[in-house]
């Protein structure tokens, strides 16, 4: 039995994704309380053209940053429930209803999907939609956008990010998919979702591609925003 427990500990992460403390659920109580801080508006200065109103779950720092990186880059899928519920909470703060809500995750490139064994934001959006339904919302996930191959933007400046993001997405074919999204935008909310708001270039580019198809994004939501943000 001790051998089996040790083997499980080796295979399944048992430390908190935010601070490393013991936490079987992937997040300790202390980091969970930091993650649960009040969501609020966030916007880069200057904001790129086409950026919709944005809400963020908090600052991209400390345990929140470690939780997001653990999930996104270190394979900590055990953090999906906590981060998905958090994403849903930020959506609820911006959309009390009535009317349906459709979450549109910013898509990952094919290379990122392979490296991370799945599209991390699509997975979180599905979890968030399920949480929203549990709170009485008519919620769904739509994937009208496809990410085109692009280099890593982590070390680019604002202007370089904007130029890269402008050509980052294309719209998936399918008239019925787009018509359904237009109908939701008319009577509910179309919400772009991503992990972190930095310069806003990615969200703005995604919103512009949708607007070209006559789909108006109601607002955008991220788990966190970098420090250089003001509400």
pLDDT at 1 over 50: no
pLDDT digits (tens, 9 = 90+) for 168-194: 898 888 877 889 899 998 999 999 999
- Point out which residues pair with 140 in neighbouring strands: 102
Question: pTM score > 0.85 for this model?
Answer: yes
pLDDT digits (tens, 9 = 90+) for 130-143: 999 999 999 999 99
Top pLDDT among 16 and 157 is at: 16
Omega prior to 98 cis, within 30 of 0: yes
- Name the pLDDT band for 16 (thresholds 50, 70, 90): very high
Omega prior to 46 cis, within 30 of 0: yes
**pLDDT above 70 as % of the chain:** 87
The fold adopted by the segment(s) 38-225 is Rossmann fold (3.40.50)
- Point out which residues pair with 55 in neighbouring strands: 41, 221
Report the C-alpha gap between 213 and 188 in whole angstroms: 17
Mean of all residue pLDDT scores within the chain: 88
Top pLDDT among 113 and 36 is at: 36
pLDDT the model gives residue 10: 46
Domain edges within the chain: 38-225
pLDDT the model gives residue 154: 60
pLDDT the model gives residue 135: 95
- Name the pLDDT band for 166 (thresholds 50, 70, 90): confident
């Amino acid at each position: 039995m001790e051998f089996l427990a040790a083997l499980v500990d080796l295979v399944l992460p048992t430390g908190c994704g935010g601070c490393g403390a013991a936490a079987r659920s992937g997040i300790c109580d202390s980091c969970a309380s930091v993650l649960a801080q009040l969501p609020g508006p966030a916007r880069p200065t200057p904001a790129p053209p086409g950026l919709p109103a944005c809400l963020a779950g908090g600052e991209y720092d400390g345990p929140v940053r470690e939780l997001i990186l653990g999930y996104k880059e270190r394979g900590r899928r055990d953090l999906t429930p906590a981060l998905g519920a958090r994403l849903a909470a930020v959506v609820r703060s911006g959309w009390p209803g009535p009317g349906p809500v459709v979450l549109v995750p910013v898509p990952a490139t094919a290379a990122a999907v392979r490296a991370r064994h799945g599209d991390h934001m699509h997975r979180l959006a599905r979890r968030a939609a399920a949480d929203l339904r549990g709170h009485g919302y008519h919620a769904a996930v739509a994937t009208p956008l496809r990410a085109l191959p692009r280099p890593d933007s982590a070390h680019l400046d604002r202007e370089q990010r904007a130029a890269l993001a402008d050509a980052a997405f294309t719209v998936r074919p399918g008239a019925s998919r787009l018509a359904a999204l237009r109908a939701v935008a008319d009577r509910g909310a179309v919400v772009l979702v991503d992990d972190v708001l930095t310069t806003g270039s990615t969200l703005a580019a995604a919103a512009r591609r949708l607007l070209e198809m006559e789909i108006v994004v109601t607002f955008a939501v991220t788990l966190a925003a970098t420090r250089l943000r003001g509400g």
